[in-house]
Amino acid sequence: MTPSNDLETIVAIIREMAASKSAERSVRHWAEDAVWFDIPPFASKGVKAASAFFQKQFASVVSLNVEILEIIPFVKADMACVVSAQKMTARLKGDSAAKAFVFRQTDCFEKRNGEWKLVHEHLSLPQGGDWDGQFATE
């Protein structure tokens, strides 16, 4: 299915990144000057550093599954933002069992030359206990 509008395109990009199991696919929609903050103490400016980090991380993974629990996209003109709750289950080399955790992710996009490019991504783990991935609405 080809996305029919900007909102569908942005959601499709987020789903593609969540399903990615390679550095190339993970940063395929990133702008060259993207800024990124991740769960480990790592931040980067520019897609090359993020790609190298992803490549190192994927090399240490035996199995990986990311499930999007909730996704809330906003599009206005040439800017878009997506907030999501995601659950990652991964087993690293040397580990006997997979570990699972829920995290929050914010992705900001800018439409450049007719294409949506990720300009900022921020992942975070809730502190102080488990989070079920639900957004409070009241």
pLDDT in tens, 69-128: 999 999 999 999 999 999 999 999 999 999 988 889 999 999 999 999 999 999 887 766
Amino acid 128: pLDDT: 62
Is 56 a domain residue? yes
Q: Name the pLDDT band for 53 (thresholds 50, 70, 90).
A: confident
* CATH number where 62 lies: 3.10.450.50
Does residue 129 lie within any of the structural domains? no
Residue 84 lies in a domain: yes
* Mean model confidence pLDDT for the chain: 89
Q: CA–CA separation, 136 vs 30, rounded Å?
A: 30
Residues sharing a CB contact under 8 Å with residue 134, sequence separation 6 or more, in sequence order? 69, 70, 85
Whole-number Å distance between alpha carbons of 25 and 17: 7
Determine which of 28-37, 38-47, 78-87 has the lowest per-residue pLDDT on average: 38-47
For 22, the domain range is 6-124
How does residue 43 score in pLDDT terms, banded at 50, 70 and 90? confident
Is 131 within the bounds of a domain?
A: no
Q: Does the structure show a pLDDT above 90 at 44? A: no
Cα separations in angstroms, 4 against 7, 87, 116:
8, 28, 14
**DSSP secondary structure letter of residue 5:** S
Provide the domain count of the chain.
1
> Longest Cα pair distance anywhere in the chain, in angstroms?
48
User: Does residue 134 lie within any of the structural domains?
Assistant: no
